[in-house]
Amino acid sequence: MKKIVCIGRGGVGKTVFVSLLARYLKDKGSILLIDSDPDQSLAEMVGVNLEKERVKTISEILFDIKKDIQSSLESFSLPERIEYLFNRDGIYEGGDFDLISLGVKWTEGCYCQANNILKSIIERLEKNYDYVLIDSPAGIEHLNRRITSSLDIIFVIVDSSKKAQENLKRSYRILNETKVSFRDFFVIANYRFSDSQLDSIDRKEFNFLGRLDYDENVERFNKDGLSLFKLDEESSAVCSLRRILERINL
């Protein structure tokens, strides 16, 4: 199993990248997608309506437990309740991938015990897949939550702003200081980079793989709520991602 996470500032295209990466890998093995961003965009980008599929986010499951909505499970211990509801309601199972969405925390108070139980469930679940792809929230504070404590590959998506460059360096530092284990750390520029701006990426310190090309179809598909899996093989975004990934061995 290979665990892969995509990080970066808000709006740089992390969710688009994870969606296209899942599209690229769908014929190469089983995939588990984990949407840890409260914005919850990943499901829609890969063509899944969680509400229609009657799949709950993890936060919704924890909310139900805290509010005793699932009163029929009173005899269950907390770990048993979480695992039962997670297996029953918390996983979308599809032909090309399965998907888990962490969602928005709806109540005040500490979820620490429940979250720790949840992490252990996910750790067991991950072993059933060839690839685990994690779409992370914006910023770097989430790296301390230890959901992503052991990784194979980290992709950082950056735009051409100075803040993105600073975020890149801070992300790398905090990953090392918090002892997050990872094998490879790759940098990918989003389409906003011009050719001349690409020189601003420190290639001595970071392994730069290339730039994702602009594709008007990505914007159109997002606007219309269409799955990025339906993009044409000759789509500029798909082609540029393929060129980038061919440089590494997934």
Domain ranges of the chain: 2-245
- Residue % of the chain over a pLDDT of 70: 87
When the pLDDT of each residue in the chain is averaged and rounded to a whole number, the result is 85
Give the CATH number of domain 2-245; options: 3.40.50.300, 3.40.50.2300, 3.30.750.24, 3.20.20.140: 3.40.50.300
Tokens of 128: 């059933």
In which band, very low, low, confident or very high, does the pLDDT at 117 lie, cut at 50, 70 and 90? low
DSSP string, 92-131: EE-SS-EEEE-----SSS--HHHHHHHHHHHHHHHTT-SE
| Burial class for 165, CB neighbours closer than 10 Å (0-12, 13-18, 19+) | middle
Residue 70 pLDDT exceeds 70: no
Residue 143 pLDDT exceeds 60: no
- Residue % of the chain over a pLDDT of 90: 48
Residue 12 pLDDT exceeds 80: yes
Summarised one tens digit per residue, pLDDT across range 192-243 is 888 777 877 877 788 999 999 999 999 999 999 999 999 999 999 999 999 9
